[in-house]
Structure 1
Amino acid sequence: MKLKKPIYSNTSLTKSNQSNSTASGPDFGSLVLIATPIGNLNDFSLRAKQAIQEADILLCEDTRVTAKLLAAYGLSVKMESLHEHNETQRTEQIISWLNQGKKIALVSDAGTPLLSDPGYRLSKAVIDADIPISAIPGPNAALMALTLSGLPPHPYMFVGFPPPKSTARQSSFAILKAAERAGLQSTLIWHEAPHRLVDMLQDLALIFGQDRPAAVARELTKKFEEIQRNTLQGLIEHFTSIPPRGEITVLIGPKPQKETLSDDDLDQHLLEALKTMSVKDAAATISTAVHLPKKIIYQRALELSKIR
């Protein structure tokens, strides 16, 4: 069956809000989530600009960052901060403004709000209060990286930022590895800080294997945009020799359809883990990763620790 072409409309933001909510009229405010450029200012949409022009208040992750965007487009609006440290405290006040009929827009420093950025607690409270909420789509680093990675585009799972500490990071990866052994077949996506990239790739290789297809996207939409496609080991070697800079997105492809774990593979995983972890922690991490009983893995880890 041939799909119909999408129908585009230039209906105003106000009318759009009224059409998708039971609430309407001058006594009700509205919240709109606005995606902003992730690097290239030309990616700021006309609808986003219009929504900010119509807003009474613009909620910003960092008002200094957003001020630069507004200045580039000649926009002027009252800004209020909303970030991870004050979102819970500010939500009640913002709901009060919305109940007074205020039009409020929300942006993060870059990209689509709520995705690894503040705004979820507020948006949930707005929905629970039956206040109109809408969104203006736009730049998204995770999806752009996915389309450029050369890895299967669906299904995919966006995981956000991994834990900053190696032990917690390995544990979080091990949970995903266990999910793969239970049937998960998905491209996995994370954001990461450049100074932690190599450590993260090493932990990924430990849990998922050095030969897992992967990609690292860097500085998307900017002058020095870069996509490195390789195995995890190949990416480790590349970014060890050329330290990364800028905004980073990391992707690994789904597990091979017929992935098996030999005794040699298990020993290799354990030996790598034992370089930085105790026997107990190595056994816990690897047993979760390979979906095998911890008691058996602990016994083998103990044996390997004695002969290293």
Structure 2
Amino acid sequence: MSKFALSAQTSHGLSVSALEEASRTGARDADIEHLFLALVLSEQAAGRALRDLGITLTAAREAVQQQHNAQLSSLGIDAEFPEAGRIVFHELDGFELTKRATDLLVSSSKKGKSGDASAVLGELLEEPSGMITSILERLGVSVQQVSQALAQQEAKPVGGSNTGISGRRPAAGTSGAFIMAPVETVRNFLDDPQNITIWDQRAGTIEASTAEEDVNEQWIVTAPTIWPNGKPVEVRPEFRRRLVRRTQPQQAGSLAWSFNYIDSPQACGSVVEFGLQETTGGTQLSVRITPNRRRGWQKIKWIALLPVQKFGLWTYRFHIAAAISRYYR
């Protein structure tokens, strides 16, 4: 993966996680402390380093809350920030990063820096306001300890051939996420067809199919009519229904689902494959989407539109991984 692609994907992923965390408290902007929470959730080396130090999302959230309350007290304000609720970022509009957070993300890819989550964490550790240093102190961890743990993580690969992730960078064609739940819990969740409507934004409803004798082995998903934010979903009629089956994964130990359009047989379906590996604090998840093999003019059309197709597949993978991560938060 190129530096530009890695930097762009990292920046987008951390921004979304930060905005999700900010939305729990009713805030519409995410600052550097929310980027820190996003890093605790990162599947890259930076996230693994923080979690190996015993920093959980629950503890980090509490430390951020304490820091906010302490700041109010230092200003002579006898009040506390509101209690956090559920994540509503994906249901509402009007969220954005603060200028300080945006500038920090931009800085992480300048002057020879990699732009990955490790670079972002490095920028946070050097951030001059002292906000992150204070949060780390509340967590009983020093900046030096974080730097050492990060160096150790970057120096070693991540075992397991089915994760799609090694070292600092995700493998090409996969999207990763850290899930705050044990492997078997996540596996059972992903193996249940009823949960497809939770992790696949293109699935509004699901029901067992009666097209074949074994109705328990295939299902029909119908596209939603309204997005979570209330906006209508525009889907052509022939793409509203898909037939879903369990299928053989490419990697041992993975889970895979095949999706094919019922009312447009010539349209290209796909296989969504999940790789799972145990990691500190939960599960390392990888998502791979493999379009069905095209023939004739469809193959030529696919090659001609390859950059657009790759971006579409990345977006789809990202939303799937983000939805699963959000479900367990």
* TM range, smaller chain: under 0.3
Q: TM (normalized to structure 2)?
A: 0.23
Structure ID, larger Rg: 1
